[in-house]
Amino acid sequence: MSFIAEKKRTGEILDCVGDAILTTNLDLEVTYINRTAEILIGIKQDEAIGCPVRQILRVVDADTRQPRGEDLARKAINTNTLIPLENNALLINQLGCELSIEDSAAPLHDLDGSVIGAVIVFHDSCYSSEIRTKMANLARHDPLTGLFNRYAFDERFQQSIELARRHKKRVGLLFIDLDNFKDINDILGHASGDAILKALASRILNCLRSSDTACRYGGDEFVILLNEIEQLSDALMVARKAHALAANLMLPDGQKVGINLSVGVSVYPDDGETLDMLIQQADMAMYRNKALKKRSREVSLPNIQVPAT
């Protein structure tokens, strides 16, 4: 097995571990975090790698509020010994939440036995597994609509691309924007605006397959990922369904509202092979949609755009 394949396999194994794992180099810069650490700290692995551990792992003593995450790693490196499990520690994650944790550290060695860094292992010491599951769910979903957030959407995109490559299929991406949503908020109020977003999110899910993914990308923006489609027309069909559903929304108070959407569509690999490229292409197509409707003044007519060729 190649080094890269072995490294990927090791990462997959560590992602299944219930404890959070973070490794550093001798300069106390983060070199790896597993999935549990991502969830508890509130940061993606690629954002954490290369950063000082004190910036990513903000651990303080629960009584004195003195920092200790970096000290733990430095002590393991300097003494070349295991630093036993300690309690009475608080993790202040990237969202500003404080979690009671227990942590320990150990030195990392190369094949010659030289110390090359440290590994810090920690876990939530007070929450039940049920609460941890809820926290993990909140870390991956938009709190208003329940749809995936950008972090989780990025993960699903990578999975979709791997499947598409393996099965020689395409992946469709729809970028959806609500027309004149600011006016809706100003006229009806933000509570009604939130209710409309929730109702639209629910209807969007109803027109997707279980293998597809919907994400609330911004305030009034949604992105849909369509797995293993055959051609562009498959994505356009879903876009038309979304238009029709948005035109007839039912709010919790029984009120019926109709919302106009602008939709841009891009397809992997035709329009790009990365998420950023596909988002950019679909976003530009969506804005061409808005411009066409503005010029024609036919804002109620579905006008789905695809990337310019």
pLDDT, greater one: 9 or 177: 177
DSSP 37-84: HHHHHT--HHHHTTSBHHHH--EEETTT--B-HHHHHHHHHHHTS-EE
Show Cβ contacts of residue 60 under 8 Å, excluding neighbours closer than 6 positions: 66, 67, 68, 89, 90, 92
Q: Which range among 7-16, 39-48, 96-105, 253-262 has the greatest average pLDDT?
A: 39-48
Residue 95 has pLDDT above 60, yes or no: yes
Mean predicted confidence (pLDDT) in 57-79:
85
Candidates 177, 220, 271, 283; catalytic one: 220
Mean predicted confidence (pLDDT) in 7-28:
79
Mean predicted confidence (pLDDT) in 111-126:
88
Mean predicted confidence (pLDDT) in 74-95:
86
Active site residue 183: no
Mean predicted confidence (pLDDT) in 127-136:
61
Residue 309 has pLDDT above 70, yes or no: no
- What are the pLDDT digits (tens) for 33-50? 999 899 899 999 999 999
Alpha carbons 274 and 277: distance in angstroms, whole number:
5
- What are the pLDDT digits (tens) for 194-251? 999 999 999 999 889 999 999 999 889 999 999 999 999 999 999 999 989 998 888 8
pLDDT interval class at 300 (50, 70, 90): very low
pLDDT given at position 1: 52
Mean predicted confidence (pLDDT) in 82-107:
84
